[in-house]
Amino acid sequence: MFEAGIDEPLIFRLFLRTAAYFDAYLKAYLSVDGEASRNIAEIVHNDATRFLNANLDILERRFKEFDIDDMKTEVKGRVFVPFGPAAGFDKNGDLLEPFSRVFGFLKPGTVVVPYREGNKAPRIDVDHVLENIDNAQGFPSEGLEYFLAKLILYRQNELPRGVRKPVYASICGIPPSPDKMNQAYKEMEILIANLLPYVDGFEWNPFSPNTASLQMLRTPEHFEATARFIHEMAGEDILKLVKMGPYRTEEERKESFRLAEAWMKGGGDGFTVVNTLKVPKNWPYGSAGRSGRDLTGYMIKAVTDLRREFPESVISATGGIFDPYLAYTLFRDDDKKVNMVEGYTPYTFYGLGLAKLLMYGVLLRMKRGGYQNMTELQRRVATSQTSSGRS
């Protein structure tokens, strides 16, 4: 049944996912502390993590179905299939092995230095009908030491396979208070120094709507300083992205672009758009971050605006990418021209087979459009932009 779900995401959606949630509810019902009953989605995620690692042989056998030569493109000197998991999907590096058999690049994290429990439950709410997820997890993490051990082991295991996937680690230093902003930079220094030998780039993630202290980092001064800090520590060859949040109003859009401009001025390469949408919630925290289908329009708007303002930037699109046609237009359209596509919530509804559906859906439309491969498509878009006066 697992392999059937790889071939047909709807089988995963209707049968495998339903069975996983039924099993999670049963575990919660039988639990003694009651806490588990309010973390059903996390039980499902943990069970899926164990299952995928226990079935690496199946994913390894089907690896070539996802490693499509005509879909590969170059980003900052690395050549790969530009589909990957979004940050948050594999917070601690527990899924590096199975994800490397499916995705063209990996984006584990967000990694922080200390262990963080995150917020107390309830902190996740899944809308099984509208296919959205509200979460207020508050950056739970096993910490740098745990993640680094997982990453080193993964890199060691890559060698016999002869396959090296780019790893773009999502990282963030967290200031404890406004008068201790230097703590965030000290933690960033520790993160970069330890992870740099094993990664191909960094994504700075200051936009989680559920971690109040991150608000202190969202100023042009800190965006420019952080980009320059990463650039000076990591060097020119390392990809440097920042994860940006969605915006609803014109004033929010202007503020977002002040931050984006500061990031590029400091030496950043581009952006991941968009993070979760802040929504009110009847929880102790008062709000949550929404991901899923409700994010699609915000993602498209942010991609289009950023491509217009920063035509040479690297853009990785995430947020409600469920269907191949949308993925194709993100790569194809002159006003978007994304470099990479990533996701989290869509895969929790449709499984890893969704990656295959997206890849082959884009490939089919690309061939029908007269393009032999992703490199040719993106070169055509770049040429079109240049000839239209946008360089």
Question: Looking only at Cα atoms, what is the longest distance across the chain?
Answer: 66
Bridge partners of residue 271, in order along the sequence: 242, 315
Distance of CA 74 to the CA centre of its chain: 18
For the stretch 159-209, pLDDT in tens is 888 889 999 999 999 998 888 899 999 999 999 999 999 999 999 999 987
pLDDT at 313 over 90: yes
Q: Which amino acid would we find at residue 86?
A: A
pLDDT at 389 over 50: no
Q: With respect to CATH, is domain 44-387 assigned 3.20.20.70? A: yes
d(CA 64, CA 367): 19
pLDDT bucket at 314, cuts 50 / 70 / 90: very high
For the stretch 117-156, pLDDT in tens is 998 888 999 999 999 999 999 889 999 999 999 999 999 9
pLDDT bucket at 369, cuts 50 / 70 / 90: very high
DSSP state of 271: E
For the stretch 57-90, pLDDT in tens is 999 999 999 999 999 999 999 999 999 999 999 9
- Exposed/middle/buried for 375, CB within 10 Å: 0-12, 13-18, 19+? middle
Task: Measure the N-to-C terminal CA separation of the chain; round to a whole number of Å.
Answer: 49
Q: Which residue has the higher pLDDT, 95 or 211?
A: 95
Say if CB 179 and CB 210 are below 8 A apart: no
Mean pLDDT of 265-292: 94
Domain boundaries, the chain: 44-387
pLDDT bucket at 380, cuts 50 / 70 / 90: confident
Identify the pLDDT of residue 385: 53
Identify the pLDDT of residue 38: 65
Identify the pLDDT of residue 34: 58
How far apart, in Å, are the Cα atoms of 170 and each of 58, 173, 191, 327? 28, 11, 10, 22
Bridge partners of residue 204, in order along the sequence: 171, 242
Mean pLDDT of 379-388: 61
Mean pLDDT of 19-31: 90
Mean pLDDT of 272-283: 94
Identify the pLDDT of residue 202: 99
Mean model confidence pLDDT for the chain: 94
Identify the pLDDT of residue 391: 36
Identify the pLDDT of residue 390: 41
Say if CB 151 and CB 195 are below 8 A apart: yes
Strand 270-273 versus strand 239-244 pairing type: parallel
